[in-house]
């Protein structure tokens, strides 16, 4: 049937070879050619360029209303454990000096970070009182809008002069200092090399910066070099991108979570080899390490001009509130327009700036304070390692130490009972508290802080109580 159909078609007019095809093309009417071309393009578009749309079912108004009525949100906050330690803290009365008062009982304080015992110092208190009598309490505005008090400028200048740098800048909250500084310099396409053991504020700062983060193992220079070499290899593949990528190294002078010093000299050498900028957070080491308390750069005898930025808090050794950063004017001045915690927040109350200035005065006048502190830290360290049954973490020079029980005995429950026992013997110590979402959650520990005014007898008493506590809790 089909064959007969085909045989009836007049084959003479059909093209059967290439020449014939060409001929028929020339003779075809224009509309035919146009139609063919359009058809060709339609097929091409359908095949390659049309984005597939998922077939969305359109919902009716009734269905939408049902969805809205049925939807139940989760409760605003999850259930809370009433026995959580954060809800049952010890409440203090009076100044936190060498002794503190809890529930009308005095005890020796080995728990708060007032290394130089400036809290309760008469000179500092008098200067703060004078500041209240001149400026009131609050500063009533951000730095840009009449919140800059002349005492802030004085403090910035004094801090810069103390550390031998060109310029200083102060913040009104210790946590926000480094957390605002890092995102001001490091942006989305930059690379940050950071030690795993840095404290939470630095972790939040680098999270806010949205840069590429390269963690290296705590104080492990080999790991850092490995990462630097990896980055160098990446750079070689794309030189143009490498020229626009800033690199930063962020370390702490004395690590809050570990109590050990960072190996700075080698890091400064590597800086010039691999061309990164160094930011050091000296929250714990400012006012505690170094012959005159000028921090880890003094301890290692490193020229501070080689460090791009040194930041610290005024809340520990200096005995005030707030934070600061010092460095060259080129680096520091940028923060005045770009650091969020500086531009969009009210400035530090003048009385706290006055307290900080007076503390700096005392630090400059009594530089033997720091020698004493380092000597006593070594003493305490020796006494602590003599107690069998504890593992001490921290440099022998460091006034901040972490105390743990060996291996599997080290649980928060046992450490809490040690703390509780010590409190009954009038020694106040504390378990170090961390949030669960730390990058590397440190093992549970008791954080011991040495106050420069502690005597040897008091340190012996501490060790005796700790020894007794072991017996009672194990």
Partner 1 sequence: MFGSKQMKPSILPAQHRCTVKETEDNCEFEEFEGTPLYAALLTYLSYGVLCIFGWLRDFLRQSYIEKKKGALDPNAKLNFVPLYQSYESFYTRNMYTRVRDIFNRPVGSVASSEFDLVERISDDYNWTYRYTGNTIRAINFGSYNYLGFAEKDGQCAMAAINSIKSNGTALCSTRSELGTQRYHNELETLLAEYLRVESCIAFGMGFATNALNIPAIASKGDLILSDKLNHVSLILGVRMSGAKSQTFAHNDMDDLEQKLHNAIVYGQPGHHRPWRKIFIIVEGIYSMEGSICRLPLLVQLKKKYKAYLYLDEAHSIGSMGKNGRGIVDYYNMDPNDIDILMGTFTKSFGSSGGYIAGKKDLIDHLRIHSHANYYASSMSAPVVYQILSSLHILMGRDGTKDGMRRIQQLADNTRYFRKKLVDMGFIVYGNKNSPIVPMMIYMPARVTRFNREMLARGIAVVTVGFPATKLVEARVRFCISASHTREMLDKALSAIDEVGDTISLRYSKRYEHRRLKDLK
321 touches partner 1 by CB under 8 A: yes
Which residues from 347-376 bind partner 1, rule CB under 8 A? 348-349, 351-352, 355
CA distance 438 to 440: 5
**37 or 137: CB nearest partner 1:** 137
CA neighbor of 288 nearest in space, from 439, 180, 162, 397: 397
Which residues from 110-139 bind partner 1, rule CB under 8 A? 111-114, 118-121, 124-125, 128-129, 132-139
> Which range, of 1-9, 72-80, 224-232, 368-376, touches partner 1 by CB under 8 A?
72-80
77 touches partner 1 by CB under 8 A: yes
CA distance 183 to 179: 7
Which residues from 37-56 bind partner 1, rule CB under 8 A? none
Q: Confirm if 280 and 234 have CB atoms less than 8 A apart.
A: no
The separation between CA 446 and the C-alpha centre of its own chain, rounded to angstroms, equals 22
- List, in sequence order, the alpha helices (H) in 15-60: 18-27, 30-44
CA distance 67 to 65: 5
2 touches partner 1 by CB under 8 A: no
Which residues from 234-273 bind partner 1, rule CB under 8 A? 242-247, 272
92 touches partner 1 by CB under 8 A: yes
CA distance 85 to 67: 41
213 touches partner 1 by CB under 8 A: no
> Which range, of 148-156, 157-165, 260-268, 388-396, touches partner 1 by CB under 8 A?
148-156
Which residues from 385-414 bind partner 1, rule CB under 8 A? none
Near partner 1 by CB under 8 A: residue from 197, 295, 341, 444: 341
- Print the SS3 string covering 303-345: CHHHCCEEEEECCCCCCCCCEEEEECHHHHCCHHHHCHHHHCC
Q: Confirm if 322 and 171 have CB atoms less than 8 A apart.
A: yes
Distances in whole angstroms, Cα of residue 172 to Cα of each of 169, 286, 313, 335: 10, 17, 10, 14
Distance of closest approach, residue 181 Cβ to partner 1, in angstroms: 13
Q: Interface mask (CB under 8 A) for partner 1, residues 430-469, using x and -?
A: x-xxxx----------------------------------
> Which range, of 221-229, 325-333, 373-381, 404-412, touches partner 1 by CB under 8 A?
325-333
Q: What is the DSSP-derived secondary structure letter of residue 408?
A: G
Near partner 1 by CB under 8 A: residue from 32, 90, 123, 266: 90
């Amino acid at each position: 049937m089909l064959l007969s159909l085909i045989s009836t078609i007049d084959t003479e007019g059909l093209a059967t070879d290439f020449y014939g095809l060409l001929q028929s093309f020339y003779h075809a009417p224009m509309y035919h050619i146009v139609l063919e071309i359009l058809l060709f393009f339609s097929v091409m578009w359908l095949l390659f360029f049309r984005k597939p749309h998922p077939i969305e079912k359109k919902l009716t108004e009734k269905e939408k209303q049902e969805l809205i009525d049925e939807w139940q949100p989760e409760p605003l906050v999850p259930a809370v454990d009433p026995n959580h330690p954060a809800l049952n803290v010890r409440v203090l009365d009076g100044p936190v000096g060498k002794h503190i008062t809890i529930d009308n009982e005095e005890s020796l304080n080995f728990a708060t970070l007032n290394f130089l015992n400036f809290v309760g110092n008469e000179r500092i208190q008098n200067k703060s009182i004078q500041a209240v009598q001149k400026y009131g309490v609050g500063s009533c505005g951000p730095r840009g809008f009449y919140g800059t008090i002349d005492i802030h400028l004085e403090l910035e200048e004094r801090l810069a002069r103390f550390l031998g740098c060109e310029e200083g800048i102060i913040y009104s909250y210790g946590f926000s200092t480094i957390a605002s500084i890092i995102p001001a310099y490091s942006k989305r396409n930059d690379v940050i090399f950071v030690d795993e053991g840095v404290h939470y504020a630095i972790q939040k700062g680098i999270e806010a910066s949205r840069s590429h983060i390269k963690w290296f193992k705590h104080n492990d220079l080999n790991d850092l070099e490995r990462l630097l070499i990896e980055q160098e290899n990446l750079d070689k593949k794309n030189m143009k991108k490498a020229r626009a990528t800033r690199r930063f190294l962020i370390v702490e002078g004395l690590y809050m979570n570990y109590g050990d010093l960072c190996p700075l000299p080698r890091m400064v050498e590597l800086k010039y080899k691999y061309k990164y900028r160094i930011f050091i957070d000296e929250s714990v080491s400012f006012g505690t390490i170094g012959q005159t308390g000028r921090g880890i750069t003094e301890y290692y005898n490193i020229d501070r001009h080689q460090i791009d930025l040194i930041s610290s808090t005024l809340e520990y050794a200096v005995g005030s509130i707030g934070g600061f950063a010092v460095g060259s004017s080129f680096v520091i001045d940028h923060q005045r327009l770009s650091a969020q915690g500086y531009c969009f927040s009210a400035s530090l109350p003048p009385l706290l700036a006055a307290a900080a200035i007076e503390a700096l005065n005392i630090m400059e006048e009594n530089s033997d304070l720091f020698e004493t502190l380092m000597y006593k830290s070594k003493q305490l360290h020796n006494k602590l390692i003599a107690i069998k049954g504890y593992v001490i973490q921290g440099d022998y020079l460091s006034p901040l130490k972490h105390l743990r029980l060996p291996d599997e005995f080290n649980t928060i429950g046992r450490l809490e009972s040690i703390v509780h026992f010590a409190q009954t013997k009038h020694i106040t110590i504390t378990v170090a508290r961390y949030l669960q979402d730390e990058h590397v959650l440190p093992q549970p520990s008791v954080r011991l802080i040495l106050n420069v005014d502690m005597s040897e007898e008091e340190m012996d008493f501490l060790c005796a109580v700790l020894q007794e506590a072991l017996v009672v809790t194990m």
